[in-house]
């Protein structure tokens, strides 16, 4: 099952526009002190009531596994495998999209400099907005789904890839909320930023490289 390039571009353009709009709405809400802000306190209060010792231990493991450094290292490993298999195009796309997400994350964190919520079960350093774990996990799993979707042999494999990618990203995002390391808006902004960064990179590659068959062919030698 394949999709024509124009259909892929429309899909990624929709993701780009929707995620960009969500990110703008969240930023505008933070700057204006709108009704979005009480959402932070409401979700934090709800999460506190579902904490258990076992869940806390599990979520600490999840959040440590979902560290941006871990995902960046795995991304380099995946890129190396792709290059060895003669697919430098996807390898460069994978690394470029993740790099754009990380750079955008660092810029936003230092521009807004929002403090983290106070947590009595987990300690985290750095600024809170947007969530680095949510941004990088969303970007990473989006890239995994995009890179390996066409390599799955059947529909079942593709469905499992997409579901697994979504659940992986959501689990890491929830771990940050559960542990009190981030506000809800941090997580939502991180998800939006991850989707925005990857969809933007894919669109740029599709527009400027996909049509340049000779260049793509050289990359995949």
pLDDT tens digits along 129-163: 999 999 999 999 999 999 998 888 888 888 999 99
pLDDT tens digits along 42-72: 887 788 788 888 999 999 999 998 888 999 9
Domain span holding position 102:
5-219
Contacts of 126 (CB under 8 A, 6+ apart): 109, 116, 132
Res 19: pLDDT: 94
Question: Taking all residues of the chain, what is their mean pLDDT, rounded to a whole number?
Answer: 87
- Residue among 142, 145, 137 nearest 161 (CA): 145
pLDDT tens digits along 83-125: 998 888 889 999 999 999 999 999 999 999 888 887 778 888 8
Res 210: pLDDT: 62
50: domain CATH number? 1.20.144
Q: How many domains does the chain have?
A: 1
pLDDT tens digits along 172-192: 999 998 998 888 899 999 999
- Residue among 111, 109, 110, 91 nearest 99 (CA): 91
CA distance 219 to 207: 16
Res 172: pLDDT: 95
Res 181: pLDDT: 86
CA distance 19 to 15: 6
CA distance 177 to 42: 12
CA distance 28 to 7: 32
CA distance 34 to 83: 47
pLDDT tens digits along 3-38: 667 677 888 999 999 999 999 999 988 887 666 667
Contact 188, 22 (CB under 8 A): yes
Res 124: pLDDT: 81
CA distance 38 to 29: 11
Query: Rounded to the nearest 5 degrees, what angle is found at the Cα of 84, between the Cα atoms of 172 and 196?
Result: 35
């Amino acid at each position: 099952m394949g999709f024509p390039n124009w259909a892929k571009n429309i899909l990624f353009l929709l993701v780009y526009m929707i995620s960009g709009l969500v990110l703008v709405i969240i930023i505008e809400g933070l700057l204006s002190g709108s009704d979005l802000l009480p959402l932070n306190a409401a979700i934090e209060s709800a999460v506190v009531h579902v904490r258990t010792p076992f869940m806390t231990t599990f979520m600490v493991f999840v959040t440590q596994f979902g560290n941006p450094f871990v995902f960046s290292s795995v991304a380099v490993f995946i890129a190396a495998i792709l290059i060895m298999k003669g697919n430098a195009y996807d390898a460069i796309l994978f690394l470029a999209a993740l790099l754009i997400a990380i750079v955008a994350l660092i810029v936003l964190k230092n521009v807004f400099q929002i403090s983290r919520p106070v947590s009595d079960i987990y300690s985290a350093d750095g600024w809170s907005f947007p969530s680095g774990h949510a941004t990088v996990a969303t970007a990473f799993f989006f890239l995994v789904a995009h890179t390996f979707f066409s390599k799955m042999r059947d529909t079942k494999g593709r469905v499992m890839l997409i579901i697994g990618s979504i659940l992986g990203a959501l689990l890491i995002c929830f771990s940050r909320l559960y542990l009190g390391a981030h506000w809800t808006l941090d997580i939502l902004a991180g998800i939006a930023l991850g989707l925005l960064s990857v969809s933007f990179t894919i669109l740029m590659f599709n527009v400027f490289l996909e049509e340049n068959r000779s260049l793509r062919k050289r990359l995949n030698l």
